[in-house]
Structure 1
Amino acid sequence: MLIVQIIVLALIQGITEFLPISSSGHLLLVPALTGWPDQGLLTDVMVHMGSFLAVVVYFWRDCVKLSTGSIELLRGEVTAWGRLALLILLGTIPAVLFGVFLDKIGFMDAVRQMPQIVAWNAIVFGILLYLCDRYGLSSRRMSDMTWLTALIIGIAQAIAIIPGTSRSGITMTAARALGFERPEAARFAFLLGIPAIAGAGILKLGDAVSSGEAITFGMMLTAILTFFVALGTITVLMKMVRYVSFLPFAIYRVLLGALLLGLIYSGMPLGAVN
């Protein structure tokens, strides 16, 4: 890969994976605007691993406490962090089941050839993000998370498997609709995303190994750059949500969707959805 392609991919993955603005929508624009060929499955694996490590590093204290809580659960002792670990596990199950179901019926193969789905999802879920953030209550913290609220947010995360939805966006939307404070909604969305991002990376790794791809220096560099961009993005977002609503992201999503629709209906080839 060209160095400029490495930088662009790292920026897109590192920023859009965690901001509620749809990474798949931006990835559609790259080949359309640059003419670059697909970067390959193994590159996708590497950037996902960069994103995964960024979340773990930023929330390392929470990760340690969750791990300790999980160990205590195995010993028969239920602590607040052990309970949260169980809630994250519960919230991850819907995405796993829904992903397997969609793969079995061939939905994902079909939807990859329909970039208009990405465009419309960017718009629809952008508007929903604004409405839930604007009119949702701000009375709950993560300590108030229950089995039901974790499951609802997990079901929302499952819907994000459909391209254009945005995993971080829809989980924050669901948390805000359930009355969680904006910083707490973002924090739970990121912690819930740890097993999801790791799982997606492992699945892509299996596909890459099956296709016989080899790790190159360019792939390693892309992963490293993605890590630093993602870490910066998480840091900025977690500070930003304390003072700013999700309205700027909602507006951006609507504009992105409109741009994609304009390109689609003008006849410009956007390629397949990754």
Structure 2
Amino acid sequence: MNGMEAVIAGAIQGTIEWLPISSEAQTMLYLLNSLHMNPQTALSYAFYLHFGTMIAVIIRFREEFIQILRNLRLDYKPTRIILIASLSTAVTALPLYFLLKSISPGQNSSTFTLLIGGMLILTGIIMKASGTSGKKEMDQMTDKDTIITGLAQGFAILPGISRSGITMAALLAQKINQETALVISFLMSVPAALSIFLIDFGTIRLIPLQTAFILTVSSLFFGYISMNVLLKIAKRTPFWIFCIILGAVTILFVLLL
């Protein structure tokens, strides 16, 4: 991967991360089909790209994270939500992670691309079925609400399952206010991204240092500047439609090759 290719990969991750159309899927499709990486290498690069957008979230919501660090108590709602959600995420994410890593490095990229297409369509269906925004605020969330949302987030480790899409769907299905759901989804993303970075570090560390730096800066830059704009768009656009269309196009792309 040269410098320009790293910038493009970071731009894809940073621009799409906030939309429920799976940034991991889009970066994987770019890495598999444009750069012709094998699925294992592409997966590690896709995992690493979340590091830059994680930093963007921390910068954007720095006041919220400062308050959480000052109130590391279970009776402080944001802290409780992040802790319970993160533990719940591990329950579903870890088995799926090991399943993905068991795929042979020589596995045909078309198989992985078909998986991504199918998962995108599934995300769209789940989002459509979740319903509309409710009235519950963060302090009204129960532990059950948090556990369900955390378990749902774990499935986002599968390329094509949008983390923001699946968590938003889970929160909206539990009648959480849409504005609150967006904030909760962002806060939950940081420990999730940090965990997968640490778990997959054995492979991620093989990424050349210069490439890793460009990937981080690019995804951070594009992620930060696009965050507010894309959040506004996401509030009024039915992105479940885009998930299904992108999934269908992805599958059609493979079948026609």
Is TM more than 0.5 here?
A: yes
Name the counterpart of 2:119: 121
* One-letter amino acid of the counterpart of residue 5, structure 1: E
- Give the Å deviation of 1:62: 0.5
Q: Which residue of the partner structure matches residue 26 of structure 1?
A: 26
Structure of larger gyration radius: 1
Deviation for aligned residue 1:152: 1.0
Q: CA 1:121/1:47 → structure 2, altered by over 3 Å: closer, same or farther?
A: closer
User: What's the secondary structure of 2:136's corresponding residue?
Assistant: coil
Of residues 249-258 and 122-131 in structure 1, the stretch that sits farther from structure 2 once superposed is: 122-131
Shift of 1:46: 4.8
State the Cα deviation string for residues 200-255 of structure 1 (Å, max 9, x = none).
1112223234xxx364323212211110111123222333345x14x1x2221111
2:169 counterpart letter in structure 1: T
Q: How does 1:155-174 map to 2 (within 5 A)?
A: 155-174=151-170
1:28 Cα deviation from its structure 2 partner: 3.6
Asked if the contact 2:12/2:27 (under 8 Å) is kept, the reply is yes
Q: Which runs of 5+ in 2 are unaligned?
A: none
Q: Any unmatched runs of 5+ in structure 1? A: 269-274
Question: Is 2:116–2:159's contact at 8 Å kept on the other side of the alignment?
Answer: yes
1:62 to 2:56 alignment = no
Identity of aligned residues (%): 23
Please show how residues 128-167 of structure 1 align to structure 2 within 5 Å.
128-132=126-130, 135-167=131-163
Give the CA deviation at 1:121: 1.5
Task: Map 1:189-200 onto structure 2 (within 5 A).
Answer: 189-200=185-196
- Residue in 2 aligned with 1:257? 247
User: Alpha-carbon deviation of 1:180?
Assistant: 1.4
Cα deviation 1:136-176 (Å, max 9, x = unaligned): 34211222211111111111111222221111110001111
1:115 positional shift: 2.9
* Counterpart-to-counterpart distance in 1, 2:252 and 2:147: 36
Q: Where in structure 2 are the equivalents of 1:1-274 lying within 5 Å?
A: 1-31=1-31, 33-37=33-37, 43-44=45-46, 46-70=48-72, 73=73, 79=75, 82-103=76-97, 106=99, 108-110=101-103, 113-132=111-130, 135-209=131-205, 213=206, 215-242=208-235, 244-245=236-237, 247=238, 249-266=239-256, 268=257
- CA drift of 1:14 comes to 1.0
Q: Which has the higher mean CA deviation after the structures are superposed, 31-40 or 220-229? A: 31-40
Question: What RMSD over aligned residues (CA atoms) do the two structures have, in Å?
Answer: 2.5
CA 1:157–1:173: 2 relative to 1, 3 Å: same
Return the offset for 1:117.
2.2
TM-score normalized by the length of structure 2: 0.86
- Length-normalised TM-score, structure 1: 0.81
Contact 1:99 1:158 in 2 (8 A): yes
Q: Structure 1 170/43 Cα, relative in aligned 2: closer, same or farther at 3 Å?
A: closer
Question: Helix, strand or coil for the counterpart of 1:160?
Answer: helix
- Using the alignment, how far apart are the partners of 1:239 and 1:65 within structure 2? 25
**Alignment deviations for residues 98-148 of structure 1 (CA, whole Å, 9 cap, x no partner):** 2333355x355349854322211211211321332xx33421122221111
Mapped contact 1:19–1:169 kept (Cα < 8 A): yes
